[in-house]
């Protein structure tokens, strides 16, 4: 590789006021920067920060999964493949869901996507036109609202109630938020960032709401196995739905199998939508690498011990961090019933975006500011506790030290 | 893994008339099935067919590329990464373009995407609103039009001229196709499926058109190295553009480095668009696996001998297939100046979709019907000749045999 000679003309880097920006469609130009990524980018450029900002654990993908990808690559599985996903993976997904939930599912219901994010984008593209509304219990993971904005739709945040038991649905408020333009409701349970877990009664109420108003439910149950209440699994729409309900399940391999960086997920939908979903995959990314899909099959078929270990580790992490933060006497924190985040307020610290940036510099801990998660999140910080005991103890010490020191210097 | 017991309730597979489809947004429901994929799905279920339908060669990804991915996986690079791409890959892309075209480029101009398809989708999402128009010289690769339809925009096919020298631009017709709603023009050169290569005069004329009307140019020069005319590289907008031109280059690792199945590409754009592009990546797929990007770096930095071999192989394949088909006396074929497709008509066979299906069954050769490529393609078949001599000789024999036999049985 030869570097360009000094006399090579250099293409200029235009300024931020470049007229190019004026020619970008307004709703696209107005998309918000992820408030999580902002802090990540700030902190990644600094050394020594323990990153608890993103929704990912500290374990790399287990070797049995990575090796399945490497073997597939070695075997030359590097050509175009099925747009809906390898038939073997679709069958493995159907078996996985059947095994967990005791409801046999047809492989034709499963569509492999290039991330859970893409599954959401496809679901919204089918359900929402420009100007149409998506109900979004809030605070919530910001990418759901942004994915709706990206296609010109209108996310309508509907705040959770917040009380001594933490966040809860206000079903009357959800009902009142429905307008003639409402087309869908995004239901994330167990929830990111709040740790809220919908009960079966909650799910039945939302199902009734959706039926009454002809809404799609986009069900994000990706943390369904990270459940600290009764039963191994969090309550699921699968437990209460009928065959003709209009539910799109968005899913990912990221959390259960420590595959955040892979970008592979799936959409579960009525098979009648098969051709539409195939087209949307074809015209957005044209499928998922076969060698990634081989790894996904290994995850589903050999991954149970790893998932069990991850869930147990998260539960221990939750208990450790909750105890440490509660001991400072400065936090407002209800232990989460599911997912793997603490979502807590700090007394005397109303500006959490600034607080998150300060914690990077002053405590060397990276947290996500609640402002990134929409209405109702403004006074909270999100901390991912899907980590090992050693790191969590370190984080607990750094945060406790900072919180205590700050208390002593008013 | 336990299979569901026979008494497990089975979720029904709804019929094609499922009311779910009625609740899908109309412009999404109306997206066309890829006419290429239709024949692929038809033929893949049959044995013994030599697949020449897709735009990919027969070589698997070279080991030095796959091994780079495997090494990265082994090293645990399985976490979330930079949404714009690894800084090392963006720098490698800038060096690659500088080396090829002799114009130094800033790494900030390069954005890693989950396929060239995603680069197109992002470019169109920035440039085109609902109801706005995209000029599309036709026939062309169908996914460009479909990507515009997916976001509610209007692809406006503008037919090429066709004569004894093959397909050529009609610049007056392009000018006449501009309306107050036109926002962009998609320029693919060397072109799929026609093999057309735009001259520098063509590119200057399109640039002038775009400047006159304030249009974006979405430049698809992914076959720029598969050029059989004068010069190693096909003419590029880089050769004639100014810094302030509004050009978005969409690119892929698929063709040069035999990575079709990987789904990795890039978008080259003014850095002023950086945050918008990062947001669009974040909210559609949230980035590209770091281990894939390591492979891409290997491709750029060690891939020149492989690219040279691929291009030489394609040129030999072009000559072999052109000679064989011309010898049948039944085809209308101009040898292509670039890319790696023959696009030819068969005398007495006006229904090329049906012809493609018959060739699967009767000649065991899979071709793409020209109907898949829009206006102007209706009487052609596309054959990908990026293959080894043995396979091409086999295909030539099968097609020649079928064409000759058909001539003798009127």
| Residues A174, A157: Cα–Cα separation, whole Å | 9
Q: Is B276 on the interface with A (CB under 8 A)?
A: yes
Q: Is A28 on the interface with B (CB under 8 A)?
A: yes
Q: What is the distance in angstroms between the Cα of A362 and the nearest Cα belonging to chain B? A: 24
| Residues B399, B397: Cα–Cα separation, whole Å | 6
Q: Which long-range contacts (CB under 8 A, 24 or more apart) does A314-317 make?
A: A314/A57, A314/A226, A314/A340, A314/A385, A314/A386, A315/A228, A316/A389, A317/A385, A317/A386, A317/A387, A317/A388, A317/A389, A317/A392
Grade residue A8 by pLDDT with cuts at 50, 70 and 90.
very low
Check CB contact under 8 Å for B147 and A283: yes
Task: Tell me the mean pLDDT in the region A355-374.
Answer: 95
Check CB contact under 8 Å for B150 and A283: yes
Query: Which chain B residue is nearest to residue A25, measuring alpha carbons?
Result: B126
Grade residue B175 by pLDDT with cuts at 50, 70 and 90.
very high
Mutate to test the interface with A, among B79, B242, B287 (most CBs of A within 10 A): B79
B32: chain A residues, CB-CB within 8 Å: 279
pLDDT of B13 > 90? The answer is: no
pLDDT of A64 > 70? The answer is: yes
Segments of B6-97 assigned E as strands: 50-51
B259: chain A residues, CB-CB within 8 Å: 78
Q: Which residue has the tokens 């976490």?
A: B79
- Note the pLDDT tens digit of each residue in A191-245: 999 999 999 999 999 999 999 999 999 999 999 999 998 889 999 999 999 989 9
pLDDT of B85 > 60? The answer is: yes
Q: Is A125 on the interface with B (CB under 8 A)?
A: yes
Mutate to test the interface with A, among B59, B286, B298, B302 (most CBs of A within 10 A): B286
B147: chain A residues, CB-CB within 8 Å: 283-284
Check CB contact under 8 Å for A147 and B66: no
B301: chain A residues, CB-CB within 8 Å: 1
The answer to whether A202 touches A167, Cβ cutoff 8 Å, is no
Check CB contact under 8 Å for B9 and A61: no
Grade residue B339 by pLDDT with cuts at 50, 70 and 90.
very high
Among A258, A304, A310, residue whose Cα is nearest residue A92: A304
Query: Which chain B residue is nearest to residue A82, measuring alpha carbons?
Result: B41
Q: Find out whether the peptide bond into A174 is cis, omega within 30 degrees of 0.
A: no
Chain A 65-94, CB below 8 Å of chain B: which residues?
Answer: 66, 69-70, 73-74, 76-81, 83
**Other C-beta atoms within 10 Å of A383: how many?**
26
Among A395, A392, A224, residue whose Cα is nearest residue A313: A392
pLDDT of B337 > 80? The answer is: yes
Among B221, B211, B228, residue whose Cα is nearest residue B386: B228
| Residues B223, B386: Cα–Cα separation, whole Å | 12
| Residues B136, B186: Cα–Cα separation, whole Å | 5
Task: Tell me the mean pLDDT in the region B197-205.
Answer: 98
Q: Is B274 on the interface with A (CB under 8 A)?
A: no
| Residues B274, B278: Cα–Cα separation, whole Å | 6
Query: Which chain B residue is nearest to residue A96, measuring alpha carbons?
Result: B1
Chain A 315-374, CB below 8 Å of chain B: which residues?
Answer: none
Domains of chain A: 27-56+306-404 (3.90.1150.10), 63-303 (3.40.640.10)
- Note the pLDDT tens digit of each residue in A98-129: 999 998 899 999 999 999 999 999 999 999 99
Query: Which chain A residue is nearest to residue B252, measuring alpha carbons?
Result: A285
* Nearest Cβ partner for A74 among B23, B66, B74: B66
Task: Tell me the mean pLDDT in the region B40-64.
Answer: 90
Grade residue A9 by pLDDT with cuts at 50, 70 and 90.
very low
Angle at A98 between CA A95 and CA A103, to 5 degrees: 145
* Nearest Cβ partner for A284 among B11, B118, B269: B118
The answer to whether A225 touches A311, Cβ cutoff 8 Å, is yes
Using CB atoms within 10 A of its CB, is residue B101 exposed (0-12), middle (13-18) or buried (19+)? middle
B151: chain A residues, CB-CB within 8 Å: 151
B20: chain A residues, CB-CB within 8 Å: 246, 269-270, 272-273
- Concatenated DSSP letters of B48-64: S-EE--SS--SPPPPHH
**Other C-beta atoms within 10 Å of A71: how many?**
15
The reported pLDDT for the residue numbered A13 is: 47
Q: Is B263 on the interface with A (CB under 8 A)?
A: yes
* Nearest Cβ partner for A263 among B25, B60, B286: B286
Q: What is the distance in angstroms between the Cα of A46 and the nearest Cα belonging to chain B? A: 15
* Nearest Cβ partner for A272 among B8, B21, B77: B21
- Note the pLDDT tens digit of each residue in B366-380: 999 999 999 999 999
Chain B 198-257, CB below 8 Å of chain A: which residues?
Answer: 214, 216, 243-244, 246
| Residues B85, B113: Cα–Cα separation, whole Å | 8
- Concatenated DSSP letters of B323-357: HHHHHHT-EE----SBTTEEEEEETT---HHHHHH
Q: Is A131 on the interface with B (CB under 8 A)?
A: no
pLDDT of B244 > 50? The answer is: yes
Q: Which residue has the tokens 């067919």?
A: B49
The reported pLDDT for the residue numbered A407 is: 58
**Considering chain B, what is the average pLDDT of its residues?**
93
């Amino acid at each position: 590789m030869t570097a360009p000679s000094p006399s090579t003309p250099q293409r200029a880097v235009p300024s931020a006021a470049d007229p190019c920006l004026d020619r970008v469609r307004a709703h696209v130009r107005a998309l918000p920067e992820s408030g999580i990524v902002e802090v990540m980018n700030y902190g990644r450029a600094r050394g020594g920060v323990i990153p608890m900002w993103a929704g990912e654990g500290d374990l790399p993908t287990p070797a049995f999964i990575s090796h399945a990808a490497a073997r597939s690559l070695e075997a030359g599985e590097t050509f175009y493949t099925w747009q809906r996903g390898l038939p073997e993976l679709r069958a493995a997904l159907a078996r996985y869901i059947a095994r967990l939930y005791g409801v046999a599912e047809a492989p034709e219901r499963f569509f492999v996507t290039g991330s859970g994010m893409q599954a959401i984008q496809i679901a919204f593209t089918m359900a929402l036109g420009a100007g149409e509304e998506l109900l979004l219990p809030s605070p919530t993971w910001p990418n759901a609202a942004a994915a709706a904005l990206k296609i010109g739709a209108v996310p309508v945040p509907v705040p959770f109630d917040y009380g001594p038991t933490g966040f809860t649905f206000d079903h009357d408020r959800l009902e009142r938020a429905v307008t003639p333009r409402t087309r869908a409701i995004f239901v994330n349970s167990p929830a990111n960032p709040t740790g809220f877990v919908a009960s079966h009664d909650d799910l039945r109420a939302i199902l009734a709401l959706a039926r009454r108003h002809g809404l799609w439910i986009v069900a994000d149950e990706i943390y369904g196995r990270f459940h600290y209440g009764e039963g191994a699994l969090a309550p699921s729409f699968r437990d209460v739905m009928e065959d003709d309900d209009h539910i799109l399940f968005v899913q990912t391999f990221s959390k259960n199998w420590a595959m955040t960086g892979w970008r592979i997920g799936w959409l579960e939908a009525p098979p009648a939508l098969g051709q539409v979903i195939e087209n949307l995959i074809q015209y957005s990314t044209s499928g998922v690498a076969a060698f990634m899909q081989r790894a996904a099959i290994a995850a589903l078929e050999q991954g149970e011990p790893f998932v069990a270990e991850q869930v147990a580790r998260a539960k221990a992490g939750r208990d450790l961090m909750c105890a440490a933060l509660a001991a400072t006497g400065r936090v407002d924190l209800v232990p989460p019933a599911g997912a793997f985040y603490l979502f807590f307020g700090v007394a005397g610290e109303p500006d959490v975006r600034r607080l998150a940036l300060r914690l990077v510099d002053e405590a060397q801990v990276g947290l996500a500011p609640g402002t990134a998660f929409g209405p109702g999140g403004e006074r909270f910080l999100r901390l991912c506790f899907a980590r090992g005991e050693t790191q969590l103890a370190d984080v607990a010490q750094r945060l406790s030290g900072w919180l205590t020191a700050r208390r002593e210097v008013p």
